[in-house]
Chain A
Amino acid sequence: MSWSSSQKTLLVILLLVVLALGAYSSWTISSLTFTINTMQGTLDDLGSMLGNYTQRLEGYLTVAGSTTVLPISQACANLFMQENPGAVISITGGGSGHGISAISAGYINIGMSSKNLTIEQITDPDPDLQPVNIALDSVAIIVHSSNDWIDDLTFEEVEMIFNGTITDWNHFGGTGEIHVYTREAGSGTLECFEKFFMENSDITGAASEKTSNGEMRAAVSEDTAGIAFLSVGYIDETIKAISIEGVEPTIDNLKTGDYTVKRWLFLITKGAPTTLEQAFIDFVLDEEGQEIVVQEGYLKLEWFQ
């Protein structure tokens, strides 16, 4: 089948038209979804006015970010969904960096973070991020459950292990190389760890990088030579938590402040929260939610107010 030159031109024009249509339609679709989302917001507000009489909340929430806040959100979401059958909440991890980046970009509803937002991030009107404190947390150092070479470390010793100065367990009477684990660069747990434990140096480049609290715990529970740090909410029988300068990372020590490592946990919305988002945040801040905070091993707000 051969084409005359006029048919060829037609072909080229058609191709350009397709390209233009493609570009136009993608622009239209994105502005359409934006319109739909805005309309959704308005409908939500209308619904809330009616909802005040019926107390029924419906809709879909995507929550993502810090794996530290993750267990709290998951447990709260379960209860929330039981009490509000029309609501469905999807919770993902990814780290505080992911939570902040995704909520700034706007493709999730609520970001979870254990990392403090910078002044610019709070005041910048473009993403208009609005963080809400929901709990407090701490960071503990963990080793394999059978590791009886160390029970207690000083801050300096932790720093020397993690920056690669101390490389061998025989420094503590054991054998073998120390396997250091760390978190991805955007992690809030990493930020807290570095703030309190790594005063003058960086974590060694030889540390194996993991991307969640869960992975840190799993890695150390299988590696007899491993050492890592994670949120105290993740401490369980599969690993051993180390006391720092005589103080164990227990809830009581955190309440009294003997264990000095401490940080806030946040839920972040982009702009003012919608009805459903606000309802979820309120749930976490209420009695039920704060009980869950304690159950999961974190510190509830009222202990510090």
Chain B
Amino acid sequence: MIDAEKEESVAKILLWAVSLISVSSLFAIFTYIFLRGSKVINLEFLMTAPNPIFWAGGIFPQIVGSLYLVALCTAVATPLGISAAIFLSEYARNNFITKTTRFFILTLAGIPTIVIGLFGLTFLVYRLDFRVSLFSAGIALSFLTLPWTITVSEESMRAVPMEYREAALALGATKWQTTWHVVFKAAAPGIITGILLGIGKALGETTIPLMCGGSGLETFLPRSLFEPVGGLPVYTFIFATQGNVSSAVDRAFGGSLVLTLMFLVLSASALVVRNRYQKKLRK
């Protein structure tokens, strides 16, 4: 009996200690980046172009560039992904072909991003001659987000109980009406969560924009889809690894902070959507 209670106290202490380590290390990182990055954040930093020669300037083209990249990526991956998800979940029969398809999509989700970057470089940039541009990087990023969108959307739709569909069909709705008005609307929060998480993933990507999108130190915004574009992660990478003066390091922290904040906003939105969805289901 005593042994069990001793074990319990020891276990409690160990668990507390380990949890303290993990939770505090995670927050320490964010706090550190916040403290070192906020030094350099001001309106000028956010609204001017970088000056790579003197390791000075701001990150405006990079912020907008990141948004452009993410927008293009989402615009391509979302319709394709959702149609694939709807088709797989509602229209296709659950047979060997669909199972293999789901398997392949899942494995594509596991390809390391640098390999997708390499694919984008040799296929989109070089073979299809889209050159180093917003277009190439955006499409390559959508390859990253696509399997994720399909998987999450499909799971959300399959989670909708069959009774919903049966009820709608019994009331005389057609297949598409059922799918759109009943299943899709019910699965929407899950799908939106998936999209937001995909956006977060694309936002933090470094290797794909580095290989297909541009130098990261662009001082101009791309005027068309086929011009190079710079994003925050690549900017941070270059300033962090090549900057040998404090102004460079400070700016790298500034870029990291802005990037992290953008990411946290997306992440938080996804969580909020998911929690409301779960609350709805529980009702």
Residues of A near any B CB (own CB < 8 A)? 1-3, 26, 29-30, 33-34, 37, 60, 62, 64, 71, 74-75, 78, 88, 90-93, 105-108, 212, 214-215, 217-218, 221-222, 236, 238-239
Contacts and interface: CB of A to CB of B under 8 A. Distances in A.
B39 interface: no
B84 to A, nearest CB: 12
B239 to A, nearest CB: 10
A30 B129 contact: yes
Interface in B210-264: 214-215, 217-218, 220, 223, 227-228, 238, 241-245
A217 to B, nearest CB: 5
Given A88-B227, A90-B215, A2 B93 contact: yes
Contact of A90 (B125, B228, B238, B243): B228
Given A30-B127, A88-B220, A93 B215 contact: yes
**B interface, over-half SS:** loop
B132 interface: yes
B53 A71 contact: yes
A95 to B, nearest CB: 13
Contact of A107 (B126, B220, B238): B126
Nearest to A221: B244
A3 B97 CA distance: 13
A90 B242 contact: no
A78 B244 CA distance: 22
Give the size range of B's interface with the partner. 20 to 34
Given A1-B91, A2-B93, A93-B215, A105 B241 contact: no
Interface of B: 52-53, 91, 93, 125-132, 175, 214-215, 217-218, 220, 223, 227-228, 238, 241-245
A218 B244 contact: yes
18 contacts: A1-B91, A30-B128, A62-B132, A62-B214, A64-B132, A74-B53, A78-B53, A90-B215, A90-B218, A90-B220, A91-B217, A105-B126, A106-B126, A107-B129, A107-B132, A214-B244, A222-B244, A238-B244
